[in-house]
Chains A and B, each alone.
Chain A
Amino acid sequence: MNEGFFSEIKLDNLAEATEDVRDSYATILTYSCYYGLGATNDSILILANVADLITRVLKLFDDVIDNDIDVAYWHARSKYINTDDKVRGSLVNLGTVLFAKAGELLSNLHHRDFIPPQVVAKIQGETFKNIVPVVEGQQASILVENPTLESAVQIAEMKSGCFYGLVCWNAAYFAKFDEDLAHKFFEFGKLFGMIVQIANDMSDIWSHEGNPSDLKQGVWSLPIAYSMSVLAAEERTILESSLFAARNSEEAEKKARDMLIKSGAFVYWQIENQVRINRAKTMLKTLIPNGKEREKLIHLMERLITVTPK
């Protein structure tokens, strides 16, 4: 048996967790919430690495579900990831390992002697508890066909909102050991997650970076859920036909996209995102006393607002 399949996975700084990881929203949130609360211990990088690993697992599963696997990205990190027919299975398996690695990092928290054992146990427990609705949301996004606008929002809140919620909960609890405060950060993280999800869904009605659009892939994303909620029956039928044909026709894809835009999908989701950004800003004023970290988070959210003209 080959024992080297996962021993040489290169994930920047995975095993030792001794360096900063700042290339994902989850790690930025971890650091900004933690330092924003005035905490200073370098051990926060363990939680940043945990957040980063779980982000990678979710990206991996998303890529497999959407059939747009970034093979070059994964192959650069393990030579056993390749383009043959087994790639999907091996990536799912890799996701399991990455999740176990996140658990391994969490289990090492108790070696940091300044952290009370009950705090370590709480963070471990909450992380695993809160990952369940994230995976449930992901499962629902695969299995629930043509969700209503309300259902689509609920699924996005579970899938993305709860993930960023747990990231913020961990950082805040690690900073202050205060459950009530951590819960408020969870609510902030949920808003942030929805802002990301809305922005992604709007972006993905176009193909970009070599990936086909959601319309071409038959993904029932938030803009579709909106348009189906407001269009008259006859137009809904036309949109459904265009979406079905979009899988094989660029013309049908363009027609579907135009119908989404003309029915006000961008106006609607821009307003929904603005509501969340306004709420999040209000929360941050009381949650994060440190002006520099607070401004960093506000800048990040405003960068995500769906659309601005060039």
Chain B
Amino acid sequence: MNGLNELVFAVTQHADLLQQILANPSLIADYAKLSNDQMEAFLQIVNDQALLEHLQNVSAENTSKIFWTKPWG
């Protein structure tokens, strides 16, 4: 297990850290030891400000796809 969990926790608690990472993504290479595809997905999500805010304030009412997951629905 690498440090993606700790990295996500850190950036969700400290907005300024996220801004530093977005300005210089190579900062996290040593910190979290992410694989290339984890790095790509991480940047894909955190670069989308609206999605990121949504993920941190998600509720059943403001979410469209979360209840699409039941194969029997």
Contact = CB atoms under 8 A, between A and B. Distances in A.
Contact of A59 (B11, B42, B60, B72): B72
A262 B37 CA distance: 25
Contact of B63 (A24, A153, A263, A308): A308
A305 interface: yes
Interface stretch (A124-132, A269-277, A290-298): A269-277
A271 B41 contact: yes
Interface residues of A, number: 45
Interface residues of B, number: 38
A303 B65 contact: yes
A34 B53 CA distance: 40
A170 interface: no
B65 A305 contact: yes
Given A263-B12, A266-B55, A267-B56, A24 B45 contact: no
A261 B13 CA distance: 12
Nearest to B46: A267
Given A271-B45, A305-B65, A279 B6 contact: no
Contact of A25 (B8, B62, B71): B71
Q: Is the interface of A mostly helix, strand, loop or mixed?
A: helix
Contacts of B15: none
B33 interface: no
B63 A267 contact: no
Contact of A208 (B4, B64, B65, B67): B67
Interface stretch (A78-86, A96-104, A198-206): A198-206
Counting chain A CB atoms within 10 Å of each CB, which of B64, B66, B70, B73 scores highest?
B66
B23 to A, nearest CB: 19
Contacts of B72: 23-24, 59, 70, 73
B51 interface: yes
Nearest to B68: A303
